[in-house]
Amino acid sequence: MGDFIDFFLKNPFLIIVLIGILTSMLGKKKQPQDPNTPPKKKWQEVMQELQGEMQQGNQQQGPAPAPVRKVEQQAAQAAEVIDETTNEANKRIAELRRLQQKYDQERLYQKAKADQLTSTIADNNSPVYRKGPSFGKKQLIDGIIMSEVLGPPRAKRSLQRSRR
């Protein structure tokens, strides 16, 4: 018996488990039912009651009349809606075409104006337009060589600028 007690004292986890089991067994008390709450039913009983109610409802209603007028009214309304949307779409298409033509005219006008300006600027006698100097590959190479020849000696230039 002493070995049994020593075993439990050396294992605190087992003590916690035993205390939990004892409290759960002793802590359960039967709660009195509240008279206002309905008694709990099994799901099979609930399903049988619902099926019985559905069968009674079907027997009382009888056959449903065919809603012919309602369908005709909906068809007429659908036709009206289709006509309205078609008219609206046609109006929008006409407006878009008109705007496209206006845009094309404006673009042609701007292009003609730009062509007129470029023809005026391209005039060699114009004081606004002067043709600048043009360098070829050979002239650029000669310029670099002459800057090295005429510039300060390489030894006197700073090294910081050449590393960049």
With 90 as the cut, is the pLDDT of residue 58 above it?
no
More confident residue, 34 or 138: 138
CA distances from 92 to 25, 48, 64, 105, 107 (A): 79, 60, 45, 20, 22
H runs (alpha helix) in 34-158: 43-61, 68-121, 137-150
Residue type for 146, please?
A: M
With contact defined as beta carbons under 8 Å apart, do 110 and 117 qualify?
no
More confident residue, 36 or 94: 94
pLDDT (0 to 100) of residue 107:
94
Q: What is the average per-residue pLDDT within 47-52?
A: 79
List the chain domain ranges: 92-124
pLDDT (0 to 100) of residue 142:
93
